[in-house]
Amino acid sequence: MKKEVKKVVLAYSGGLDTSVILKWLQEEYNAEVITFTADLGQGEEVEPARQKALDNGIKPENIFILDVREEFVKDYVFPMFRANTIYEGEYLLGTSIARPLIAKKQIEIANKMGADAVSHGATGKGNDQVRFELGYLSLKPDITVIAPWREWDLNSREKLLSYARKHGIKIDAKHLDKEGKPTVSPYSMDANLLHISYEGLHLENPMNEPEESMWLWSKSPENAPDEKEYITIGYKNGDPISVNGEEMSPATLLKTLNEYGNKHGIGRVDIVENRFVGMKARGCYETPGGTIMLKAHRAIESITLDREEAHLKDELMPRYAKLIYNGFWFTPEREMLQAAIDATQKYVQGTVKLKLYKGNVEVVGRESDMSLYSEAHSTFEEDEVYNQKDAEGFIRLNALRRIIAGKARNK
């Protein structure tokens, strides 16, 4: 038996799936639907979602389209990159980090509009259902969550299209062939300012090489310019603040780095990852600006962080990455780790110089007025600050436990 709800805030893209969900919520729950569309820098117009919502009977005052690009980069992407976060060695968490913000905005709208439920379009097989719902319940424990893909029987593209026709939902031409029949489903894609992802179709066989036409953002490294290009990134308190000496807002900076990365074929990955729900899944990702940022941030940290501080950060990172991947952004353990990570960034400032060339990002220079690198101590030439004889005592003290053990065990 369905729980009675009066108002529901739907995460709405305006696409086929969420348009069907919108009508389904009206029909199955007899609920007033409020739509929320987030502009995360996905590279497509979000305003058409307004007209599609109106066409489906949504009141103008119940349609929310918010530009959250700056908030997304400043409060979610940058904090994540302070930790040099990467999941299972390759994934820069472009989808994972966007879900908490969408959930937060849905709850804010629910509070404003007096809604007693929220809904999303994530399927019952993926991670996103977990990420959305952990966010909802962390921020508003008494909210009702409606996950249509776990309730309905519209489990194929043809059934979705049939439902749309039956209920007068306008169908984009891209979903139909010349005869009005369903086209082959495109890749399942998700995009925002940090990345674009691809899943499904022939990618489901992990031995199949991705088609070049699949990649929508970047040039292939083979077709990237034959000329290398140098850029500089300025840092303050662990966050990038400028490119080539020009200070920029967080969203503008990431967009600029995306443009450099796309031009030079940087940031493509093809991985099989371990989903939180238990299965393995193959995904292809383009994260051009993020790939550049990760390299640059590690470089500026290499001269500004103390050794033990840096090593401890590296030990914490996999746990932090797992929390974000699994959807535990709004939790005390993530906030605790964030506080520790942020405490290390006080002196992470300066400039990193990078060379971009055919899919590669190479650090070629770094400087900081807070640098711990001492040329006087590190030089291979004659110096006046380091007594090499001191090393003997250092070595013997560190070897002491092994010397004692060796004498005891080798009698």
C-alpha neighbours within 13 Å on the C-beta side of residue 177: 8
Q: What is the pLDDT along the chain (411 residues), one digit of tens a residue?
A: 578 999 999 999 988 899 999 999 999 999 999 999 999 999 877 888 999 999 999 999 999 999 999 999 999 999 999 999 999 999 999 999 999 999 999 999 999 999 999 999 999 999 999 999 999 999 999 999 999 999 999 987 788 888 998 998 887 766 566 666 656 557 889 999 999 999 988 999 999 999 999 999 999 999 999 999 999 999 999 999 999 999 999 999 999 999 999 999 999 999 999 999 999 999 999 999 999 999 999 999 999 999 999 999 999 999 999 999 999 999 999 999 999 999 999 999 999 999 999 999 999 999 999 999 987 666 666 667 778 888 899 999 999 999 989 988 987
The reported pTM is: 0.93
The answer to whether position 16 is within a domain reads yes
Of the chain, the end-to-end C-alpha distance in Å amounts to 77
123 is known to lie in a ligand binding site: yes
Q: Are residues 38 and 162 in the same domain?
A: yes
Is 131 found in the same domain as 11? yes
Contact 96, 321 (CB under 8 A): no
Six-digit token string for 203: 């990618």
Residue 73 sits in a domain whose CATH number is 3.40.50.620
Residue 2 lies in a domain: no
To the question of whether residue 188 is assigned a binding role by annotation, the answer is yes
Check whether residue 41 and residue 136 sit in a common domain.
Answer: yes
Q: Positive or negative, the Cα torsion across 229, 234, 237, 239? A: negative
Quick one: 163 and 198 in the same domain? no
Residue 371 annotated as lining a ligand binding site: no
Examine the domain organization and report whether 182 and 196 are in the same domain. no
On whether residue 1 sits in a domain, the answer given is: no
43 three-state secondary structure: coil
Same domain, residue pair 136 and 209: no
Q: Kindly state the tokens that stand for 407.
A: 């004498």
Total structural domains within the chain:
3
Q: Judge whether 138 is annotated as a binding position.
A: no
Q: Which residue has the tokens 């996950």?
A: 147
Same domain for 306 and 337: yes
Q: Among 143, 164, 186, which residue terminates a domain? A: 186
Closest alpha carbon to 269 in 77, 40, 93 = 93
173 is in an annotated binding site: no
Residues annotated as catalytic (active site), given as ranges: 17, 99, 128, 188
170 touches 362 (CB < 8 A) = no
> Do 302 and 278 meet the contact criterion of CB atoms below 8 Å apart?
no
Question: Looking at the structure, do residues 384 and 342 belong to the same domain, yes or no?
Answer: no
Question: Residue 128, annotated ligand binder?
Answer: yes
